[in-house]
Structure 1
Amino acid sequence: MALLFVIPLFTGLVAGYIFKKSTDEIGQIIGVVAAISLALGLILAPWQVQVLLLIVVFVSTKKLLQQNEYKLKQQEKYQEQLNKNQNQELISSQPQEIDNEATLKYRGSNYQAPDVNFEIQEGEVVGRYRGIPWRMHQVVNTPRSME
């Protein structure tokens, strides 16, 4: 078996490494060279190597598809549970009044802002920075009295 196909493969791997590390425009050209040399190396490879790579690609693709299908099924189950819970909440909350408070959303989940028990007052910080007198106005949070 001739090993001449290893030369373009090795060249492609080195060029790919340089492409990943480079941020200049030359890096894009090197990326194209890497892709071409990898393709050329695979074309020049003996049929035994090509069949082996084909089997590896099929097996890895099958495993990835199985993982994605499992995640998709889990998401569907979760979505169904959310829909059932929302329907039950709508039915139970119809006689109640709707609050006018803003509902916040973070990463797909809804929440309400916590009550803030602080009053904002201005304070002044006096000090020295590199030998020069320095003043800074700073906002100070003081606890609000509960009435």
Structure 2
Amino acid sequence: MKRLLLVLLWGALSIAGFAQSGQESVIKQILDQQTASWNKGDLNAFMQTYWKSDSLVFVGKNGVTYGWQNTLDNYKKGYPDKTAMGQLRFTIIRIEYLSNQVYNVIGKWQLTRTIGNLQGHYTLLIRKISGKWLIVQDHSS
């Protein structure tokens, strides 16, 4: 009986670990999608990885912004053209599994621009909503 329980426990943990690693690749795809959209100069496509809700939270150098549209408007104000946007690169430092529905991501961002490079760090809270992984909270500095 003990042996059966150990085998079942090991199997459940193996499946959970496999599911986690599969979801981590989805998280990486989200950041790859953001990078590609940004580097094309397409902020509307970049924002498709964010939760389209008034409850979206973005924390940046100017404080807290609530809502998808407000976040998009701030991006458009801060990065009005391709020159201001430059080329984005993300470096993931850690992807942390919090639950089957939530991941925490910590990383670095870099913008290479002719008008001066920028860089900083970010923390993302990514949640599965209606079967889709979306950024629900972004703290970028």
When normalised by structure 1's length, the TM-score is 0.34
More helix per residue: 1 or 2? 1
When normalised by structure 2's length, the TM-score is 0.35
Higher relative contact order (CA 8 A, sep 6+): 2
